[in-house]
Amino acid sequence: MIQRILLGEKDIKVTLERLACQLVENHGDFKNTVLIGIQPRGTIVADRIKAILSESYGLSDVELGYLDITFFRDDFRRREDPIEANKTMIDFLVEGKNVVFIDDVLFSGRTVRAALTAIQSFGRPENVELLVLVDRRFSRSLPIQPDYSGRKVDAYLEEKVVLKWREYDDIDGVYFELKND
Amino acid sequence: MSQLSVDHLLGIKGLKREDIELIFSTADHFKEVINRPIKKVPSLRDLTIANLFFENSTRTRLSFEIAEKRLSADVVNFSASSSSVSKGETLIDTVKNILSMKVDMVVMRHPNPGAGVFLSKHIDARIVNAGDGSHEHPTQALLDTYSIREKLGNVEGKKVVIVGDILHSRVAISNIYALNLLGAEVMVCGPSTLLPKYIHTLGVKVETDLRKALEWADVANMLRVQHERQDLKYFPSIREYTQMYGVNMEMLNSLDKDVVIMHPGPINRGVEITSEVADSDKSIILNQVENGVAIRMAVLYLLASKIKR
C-alpha cells in the first residue's frame, strides 16, 4: 500500500484556523448560527472549530450539535453490512437558524444530501452552509458544493483519503492511500 | 456485529446474546429519534408491512404500527374478527393472499403456539412474532429487559421475579429466555397450580411466597391472570389471589429496599397490583410502553436490512 501525506499536524491546525476565521467573517457573533458536526468524524472537526472560535475570538457559547444520518442514507439494503448508527445530540431547535454542517471529507455528496433531510427533524433552518476539511472535487454524484473548504484534493476514485485524529489515532494527519495490486 | 443472526424474530429462544445487545444499541438511537420534534426517519420507505392480528391486542398492535410509521414503512392492518378467517380460510391461504399484494414483512399475533415458525417455513417474507398462544412474545421480553437496563444500568446480575400466571404466559417464557441470555437471575412466583410442572428446567428459582420473592428481587414483573386461556379453575377466587399474590404499597414500603415494578399490560387494577402501586414512582410501566416503540423500530430496521433489493 502506498501512503503519502497531504496535511500534517501543523497544516491541519493552520487550515482549521483559517476556516474558523472565514466563519467569523460571515457569521459575526454567531447569535443566530449553530454548528452541526456530521457523525461519525465531522464531529471532531466541529469540536476543533468550536474550540478555536472560543479561544481566538472569545465566542464561547456557540451552539454545537452532532447529527447522525444513518437512518436517512439512500443506500439502506444496498450494502452487504448495515452501518451502525452513532449518537445524534442536538438539544436545540434549528428553526430560523443559520446552520453550518461540518464534515471531514466531502466525496459523493450523499452524506450531505442525507443530512439536509435529517436536519429537518429539528426545524426549518433559515440557511444551511457546508464546511469540510477536505474536498475531493471531481468525485461528486450530486450537485452539492462546500461553502468553506480546507483543502481541495484531486484524487483517483481508487485512492482513499484517510484522516487521522489525535482523539482516535494519537496523531493528526490527512493521507492518500492507494492499494498497489 | 451489525447484523442479526436470524432472518425472522420468532422467539427469544433462537437469539444470541449479541443479537439482543445489537437490538438494544439500535433501540437507543431510535429512542432519541422518537423524542425529536419530528419523530420520523425514512429508512423503510420502500417496504410494506402487514400487521396480522388473529388475536386481540391494543398495546402491541398500536406499538408496532407506530414503530412502522416512524420508520416510514407502508402499513396494512388485518384483524381476524373482520376477515375471511371467520369464513374458514386457512392461515397459509390468508397470508399467501396478502403476500401476493407485495408485502415485505409480516407482524403476526396468533392464538396457536408455533404459528410464526410454521409460516416462516412456507412463505417468503420476514416474520415478527407478536405473540403466539402461550409460546413466545419476543418483542415484549426485549422491551422489558431494555427497560430494566435503562432503569438499573445493566441486566447482568440483577434479580428478577416474574409473578403470577406463568402457566399461560408467553411473556413469562420469553422473559425467562431473555433474562437468562443477558445473565440475570430469574425467579418465578405464583400459586403452584399456575406454575408449569417442569419450569425449573429453564434454570429459574421457584417460590410460592410473594413476600420472600420480593425480599429477594430487584425487579418484579407482575403478570395478568389470563382468564381467557384458563380452562379450569386454578385458584378459589380473585379475592384470594389478590390477597396472596397482589402487590400493594404497604407491602412494598415494608421491604428494606426498592423493588422496580413492571407490568406488560393490560393491568387488572386491584388484582395483581393496586392502582397506588401502578401509578407510583416505583413502577416503570409507562416507560415500558415508550421503550416498546423504540425496540420494535430496532427489530424491524435490523430485519429489514437483511432484505436485499
Residue of B nearest to A121 (CA): B38
Prior bond of B42 cis (ω within 30°): no
CA separation for the pair A63, A34 (Å, rounded):
5
Residue of B nearest to A95 (CA): B37
Query: B304 and A77 in contact by Cβ < 8 A?
Result: yes
Secondary element (H or E) of residue A103: strand A98-106
CA separation for the pair B187, B213 (Å, rounded):
8
Q: pLDDT tens digits for B157-208?
A: 999 999 999 998 999 999 999 999 999 999 999 999 999 999 999 999 999 9
Do B91 and B111 meet the contact criterion of CB atoms below 8 Å apart? Answer: no
> Which residue in B65, B117, B33, B268 sits closest to A85, CA to CA?
B33
Do B280 and B249 meet the contact criterion of CB atoms below 8 Å apart? Answer: yes
Lowest mean pLDDT: which of A102-106, B99-103, B244-248, B249-253? B99-103
Query: B301 and A93 in contact by Cβ < 8 A?
Result: no
Which residues in chain A are closer than 8 Å to B25, comparing Cβ atoms? 84
Predicted confidence (pLDDT) at residue A166 exceeds the cutoff of 70: yes
Percentage of chain A with pLDDT > 70?
A: 99
Determine the topology of domain A2-178 in CATH: Rossmann fold (3.40.50)
Alpha helix positions (H), chain A: 9-27, 42-57, 110-118, 166-169
Banded pLDDT at B272 (limits 50, 70, 90) = very high
**Which SS3 state, helix, strand or coil, does residue B40 take?**
coil
Asked whether this chain's domains B17-136+289-304 and B138-286 adopt the same fold, the reply is: yes
Predicted confidence (pLDDT) at residue A181 exceeds the cutoff of 70: no
Q: Which residues pair with B161 in a beta bridge?
A: B187, B220
Predicted confidence (pLDDT) at residue A70 exceeds the cutoff of 80: yes
Given 2.60.40.2310, 2.40.50.140, 3.40.50.1370, 3.10.129.10, which CATH number is that of B17-136+289-304?
3.40.50.1370
So what's the pLDDT on residue A83?
A: 77
Would you kindly state where each structural domain of chain A is located, as residue ranges?
Answer: 2-178
CA of residue B181 relative to chain centroid, distance: 16
CA dihedral A114→A117→A119→A122, nearest 10 degrees, is -150
Do B106 and B125 meet the contact criterion of CB atoms below 8 Å apart? Answer: yes
Angle at A102 between CA A143 and CA A123, to 5 degrees: 80
Would you kindly state where each structural domain of chain B is located, as residue ranges?
Answer: 17-136+289-304, 138-286
Which residues in chain A are closer than 8 Å to B41, comparing Cβ atoms? 71-72, 118, 121
Average pLDDT score over chain B? 92
Q: pLDDT tens digits for B84-116?
A: 666 778 888 888 888 888 899 999 999 999 999
Query: B302 and A117 in contact by Cβ < 8 A?
Result: no
So what's the pLDDT on residue A123?
A: 92
Q: What is the end-to-end Cα distance of chain A in Å, rounded?
A: 8
So what's the pLDDT on residue A109?
A: 94
Average pLDDT score over chain A? 90
Query: A81 and B2 in contact by Cβ < 8 A?
Result: yes
CA dist list (Å): A147 to A31, A86, A120, A127, A133? 20, 25, 20, 12, 11
Task: List b or e across B107-142, with b for residues whose CB sees 16 or more CB atoms inside 10 angstroms.
Answer: bbbbeebebbbbbbeeeebbbbbbbbbbbbbbbbbb
In angstroms, the separation between the Cα of residue B241 and the nearest Cα of chain A is 46
So what's the pLDDT on residue B188?
A: 96
CA separation for the pair A23, A50 (Å, rounded):
11
Predicted confidence (pLDDT) at residue A51 exceeds the cutoff of 80: yes
Q: Which CATH superfamily is domain B138-286 in?
A: Aspartate/ornithine carbamoyltransferase (3.40.50.1370)
CA separation for the pair B188, B182 (Å, rounded):
17
Residue of A nearest to B44 (CA): A76
Task: Look up residue A89 and give its three cell numbers.
Answer: 445530540
Predicted confidence (pLDDT) at residue A48 exceeds the cutoff of 90: yes
Secondary element (H or E) of residue B127: strand B126-132
More confident residue, B216 or B124: B216
Interface A-B: count of C-beta contacts within 8 A: 53
Query: B32 and A88 in contact by Cβ < 8 A?
Result: yes
Predicted confidence (pLDDT) at residue A99 exceeds the cutoff of 80: yes
Complex-level ipTM beyond the 0.85 threshold: no
Query: A82 and B2 in contact by Cβ < 8 A?
Result: yes
CA dihedral B244→B246→B248→B253, nearest 10 degrees, is 60
CA separation for the pair B79, B55 (Å, rounded):
7
Query: What is the mean predicted confidence (pLDDT) over A88-105?
Result: 93
Phi-psi region of B110 (alpha: psi -120 to 50; beta: other; left: phi over 0): beta
Which residues in chain A are closer than 8 Å to B305, comparing Cβ atoms? 76-77, 82
Phi, psi of B255 (to 5 degrees): -80, 150
Which residues in chain B are closer than 8 Å to A120, comparing Cβ atoms? 38
